[in-house]
Structure 1
Amino acid sequence: MERTEHYASYVEILKEELIPAMGCTEPIAIALAAAKARQTLGELPVACRVEVSGNIIKNVKAVTVPNTGGLKGIEAATAAGVVAGKADLMLEVLSQVTEQEIAAMAEFLRTTEIAVVPALGDRVFYIRVTVEGGGHSASCEIVDYHTNITCVTRDGQVVFQAEAASGEEKQQTDRSVLSVEEIIRFADCVEIADVAEVIRRQVAYNSAISAEGLKGGWGAEVGKTIRTVYGDSVSIRAKAAAAAGSDARMSGCELPVVIVSGSGNQGMTASLPVIEYARDMGVDEEAMIRALVVSDLVTIHQKTGIGRLSAFCGAVSAGCGAAAGIAYLKGGRYEVVAHTIANALAICSGMICDGAKPSCAAKIAAAVDAGLMGYYMYTTGSHQFVDGEGIIKKGVENTIDNVGRLAREGMRRTDEEILHIMVGQ
């Protein structure tokens, strides 16, 4: 089959997006900045200053940082990065922590001043960690997305500088080439060898943490509750699998995940329901990989217009993406996938993001349910929400654009108010 126009870009987008991370990505990004600052300082600091944007505060406040002995929050993420972080491992910065280092983190938190300061300016994603010790100082700045280190200094002198663009799209492959129609054609024609490594890793990592979550004992046990109460149909298993992965991850499970759009929760939501359906249908690996390509790229396409962090719950985009992948897996192509997406977005767009924490698992289950509802509505009777009904517009790209506008512009004030509520203002 002939390759699509933007074939190479689509392959690169998947490679850029589907990367491993241990722990919720916002605290891990703080740990990365702290580890890089400490590495540059060359010794254990005696004081730390952490400047972060409001969305970082929101997404770090209530989530457990892995390999810390159950610690939560910005100070914990900073201490973990300083004491035990391996900056060269990027989003797996805390993957090689020892028991002795966990004890050292607690001592560091007890004896070291860590000042947390809201960052000035209007950047949604901003982290700057400054450390002091031995008469010297060092800092590391991360802007726009989780691994985008833009500035490293020592004693006020820049030792590394990269341009902080107005958005990550200028740093990476242009996401504006994505469209639902071409995503479907790309999935049809992609050489499996071009995407197999990243997709197989996504299947392996995310399946493992989901299985751990389903054992129970993590978070609010949303995934396990779904299976216990609602039965064993494939649609129930699909919701439970994604929720269980979040149960474990939000509560400090030390297994890595493969993220999508900078989020482990979105990575699990986009992949695990598709994997569950593929296994239930007994399809071969190639069919599952092609369906996961659809799910991942549809999720990324939606998030491009929304941005990495906002008041709009990213699980909505990923649940919609998962339903698109399931529709493709079941033989649907552009018409079915497009109506699945539009229906799903009509159902639960506007679900708020009030930070990373155990309730994310329940939101994931709701988002996957909305996606499946959108798919089954259309395939069991061509039922659809149509142009002029709320934010739905004729043409799936127009609806996706409207949701991006809603999340990016319309919910900006909502985001501010969520943060005020969370910090008690």
Structure 2
Amino acid sequence: MIDERSYLAVLHEELVPAQGCTEPIALAYCSAQARKALGTDPENIRVLASGNIIKNVKSVVVPGTNGRRGIETAAVFGALAGDPEKKLEVLTGMPADRCRMAEEFLEHPEKCTVEHLKTDAKLHMIVEVCGGGHVVRAELKDRHTNIVRIEKDGEDIFRACPAESLQEHYTDRSFMRLTDILRFAETVDIEKVRDCIERQIACNEAISNDGLTHVYGSNVGKMLLETCGTGLWTQIKAAAAAGSDARMSGSLLPVVINSGSGNQGMTVSLPVIVFAKNRNIPHEKLIRALVISNLTAIHQKTRIGRLSAYCGAVSAAAGSIAGIAWLDGADDERIAQAVSNTLANVSGILCDGAKPSCAAKIAAALDAALMGYELAKAGCSFRPGDGIVKDGIEATMAGVGDIAGKGMVETDERIIDVMIAGD
């Protein structure tokens, strides 16, 4: 029996809007919460960040900051101009006078310092703000808005117990299976998923169009259309890449994320949207296909973790091809083969943080996914025993999750060492 209530809960937990790359935005949110508890503007800010936070904040433009990048920018603008009530849209609508204060603060590097936080958690940060004779430390861990502790002058003013901080707020995902995801998407009352999926379509199409019509980063999306023609495969890759071009380089437009990532949110949605429009597929069928693509990606990322050395564009592209294959009339076996073929091909793509080249990795992952589906349709899929391919899609995804979530831990540490060497 399909656990409809849990699948709905997962969708609504994961498909939320975020402005800018989620790691700098999480840092800005944590910093804004610290300033709120301090009750006055900080005189000094100290950031302690896990390696993966450093990796994902280091090179990406923070929206609303006139092209500024990095940890200091996110922390200072969050503290001086952010609104913690807006969560992952904390930097939306920042007052101009507060932005000028943040810019002036950043002119004094000694006022904001950054340290590498040694922790087992991938997503972990502590922001310490000092001002008015008081010191506040806000700690965020595991999820992008999961504040676990706020301390003022050495005393806790908020502390979340472990159960409240994660398990009680997020649905357990161990029940998820690809075949169940397909049946859920086909049978759920569409009104129960319409709002979150429609918001994803609207937000992600808007930022993709922004990337295709303006100059952002390396302009991967625009370049694909200009040099590779306008065939369906190219349109699919260009739409997602252009969204990433814009998001990584400071677009103010929000993205509806997937598994804590805007790049993954765009990769699971935009290719499916482009395919449906190209084929004149009814809108309600598109909504169901996006349920499939989103949940398939979430299912994979549950095993991998939110942050790792494994590029999330791969799991998102594999989710996207499940939605496309379903729209194309593929049966369960062909859909599973398309996902498996994608994972067999590009599961080795490394995550070296958020930055303009993410758009190229998205395009590469989608190219592999589209080829994987063509292989499945032609009956040429990779077989069990071919490398990491196992007997059945659940076993293959579990194997990839084990490699990415456990086997690549040391790889992640080396990537971080290489990225911050000399900084």
CA distance in 1, matches of 2:307, 2:404: 10
**Aligned residue type for 2:359:** A
Instruction: Name the stretch that deviates more: 126-135 or 331-340.
Output: 331-340
CA distance in 1, matches of 2:371, 2:315: 14
Residue 155 of structure 2 corresponds to residue 157 of structure 1: yes
The residue that corresponds to 1:360 in the other structure is: 358
Residue 42 of structure 2 corresponds to residue 33 of structure 1: no
Q: CA deviation at 1:165?
A: 6.0
Q: Structure 1 64/136 Cα, relative in aligned 2: closer, same or farther at 3 Å?
A: same
The residue that corresponds to 2:407 in the other structure is: 410
Residue 358 of structure 2 corresponds to residue 376 of structure 1: no
The residue that corresponds to 2:245 in the other structure is: 247
Count of residue correspondences = 421
Which residue of 390, 394, 397 maps to 1:397?
A: 394
The residue that corresponds to 1:227 in the other structure is: 225
The residue that corresponds to 1:351 in the other structure is: 349
Task: Tell me if the contact between 1:270 and 1:295 (Cα under 8 Å) persists in the aligned partners.
Answer: yes
Residue 122 of structure 2 corresponds to residue 143 of structure 1: no
Q: CA deviation at 1:52?
A: 0.8
Q: CA deviation at 1:118?
A: 1.1
Structure 1 SS opposite 2:193: helix
Residue 113 of structure 2 corresponds to residue 123 of structure 1: no
Q: CA deviation at 1:170?
A: 6.1
Residue 92 of structure 2 corresponds to residue 113 of structure 1: no
**Aligned residue type for 1:240:** A
List structure 1 segments (4+ residues) > 6 angstroms apart after TM superposition: none
Structure 2 SS opposite 1:312: coil
The residue that corresponds to 2:264 in the other structure is: 266
CA distance in 2, matches of 1:206, 1:225: 19
Residue 235 of structure 2 corresponds to residue 200 of structure 1: no
CA distance in 2, matches of 1:339, 1:167: 37
Task: Tell me if the contact between 2:2 and 2:183 (Cα under 8 Å) persists in the aligned partners.
Answer: no
Task: Tell me if the contact between 1:278 and 1:288 (Cα under 8 Å) persists in the aligned partners.
Answer: yes
CA distance in 1, matches of 2:383, 2:167: 31
Q: Structure 1 67/242 Cα, relative in aligned 2: closer, same or farther at 3 Å?
A: same
Structure 2 SS opposite 1:153: strand
The residue that corresponds to 1:318 in the other structure is: 316
**Aligned residue type for 1:59:** N
Task: Tell me if the contact between 1:131 and 1:138 (Cα under 8 Å) persists in the aligned partners.
Answer: yes
Structure 1 SS opposite 2:107: helix
**TM-score with structure 1 length normalisation?**
0.97
Q: CA deviation at 1:343?
A: 0.5
How is 1:31-180 mapped onto 2 (pairs within 5 angstroms)? 31-111=28-108, 113-164=111-162, 168=166, 171-180=169-178
Task: Tell me if the contact between 1:52 and 1:116 (Cα under 8 Å) persists in the aligned partners.
Answer: yes
**Aligned residue type for 1:77:** A
**Aligned residue type for 1:418:** I
Q: Structure 1 317/169 Cα, relative in aligned 2: closer, same or farther at 3 Å?
A: farther
Task: Tell me if the contact between 1:183 and 1:298 (Cα under 8 Å) persists in the aligned partners.
Answer: yes
Q: CA deviation at 1:102?
A: 2.4
Task: Tell me if the contact between 1:69 and 1:102 (Cα under 8 Å) persists in the aligned partners.
Answer: no
CA distance in 1, matches of 2:63, 2:274: 26
Q: CA deviation at 1:166?
A: 12
Q: Where does structure 1 lack aligned partners over 5 or more consecutive residues?
A: none
CA distance in 2, matches of 1:109, 1:244: 30
The percentage of aligned residue pairs carrying the same residue is: 50
Residue 293 of structure 2 corresponds to residue 295 of structure 1: yes
Structure 2 SS opposite 1:128: strand
Task: Tell me if the contact between 1:169 and 1:175 (Cα under 8 Å) persists in the aligned partners.
Answer: no
Which residue of 331, 334, 338 maps to 1:333?
A: 331
Q: CA deviation at 1:101?
A: 2.6
CA distance in 2, matches of 1:171, 1:145: 11
**TM-score with structure 2 length normalisation?**
0.97
